[in-house]
Amino acid sequence: MKDLEFALNMKPGSIYAAFHSKEALFLASLERYMQVNQVRLGELLAGTGSPLAALAEFLRSFVYPANEARGPQVCMIVKSMLEATDADKAIAEAARTYLDNMTGEIIALFRAAQDSGELPGDADAVLLGRRYLLNLTALRIEAQWTRCGAELKQLAESMAQEVEALAIRSSEN
């Protein structure tokens, strides 16, 4: 709260007046985090015109140049879900809902890739979506540990190329 007070140049009473509780503030932050990621993925889709290219670029976007300072990279949604206690039921439920929504959006992108002919019709979009989310989560954990660097970039690039290679295989069928 002290960091937040300083960053916003607000007193605790003003923050509580706006959000009513620490939990409400955290839930609003969690919602905003989800929205930012949805917008970024949507922008990548609009910019590339390809669901698979957007997914690949989304993976690459979590690697930053060494001179660019960034905060923790672990997914706030996953971290919240894993760290929530019995007393944090609202936070755990919100995090689970957001994770389910993100999974659904990723699966929808794989289905869109099928519809556009980037993926074969018999590809398992659900399995691909769940695997993608696991890779993304693992990449973000690694980013938390290493923050930047050649190894992290190599991992992100390898994961992105795996997604892109799905399109190459579909054109061979």
Q: What is the pLDDT of residue 170?
A: 40
CA distances (Å), origin 60, targets 63, 134, 136, 168: 6, 15, 10, 19
Kindly give the confidence (pLDDT) of every residue in the chain, 173 residues in length, as a single tens digit, with 9 standing for 90 and above.
677 677 777 777 777 777 777 888 888 888 998 999 899 999 999 999 999 999 999 999 877 655 555 554 667 887 887 788 778 888 888 888 988 999 999 999 999 999 999 999 899 999 999 999 999 988 888 877 765 578 888 999 999 999 999 996 544 54
| Model pTM score | 0.80
Q: Which long-range contacts (CB under 8 A, 24 or more apart) does 153-156 make?
A: 153/63, 156/59, 156/60, 156/62, 156/63
Q: Can you list the domains of the chain with their CATH numbers?
A: 36-172 (1.10.357.10)
Q: Please answer whether residues 139 and 155 qualify as being in contact, where contact means their C-beta atoms are separated by less than 8 angstroms.
A: yes
Distance, first Cα to last Cα, the chain: 56
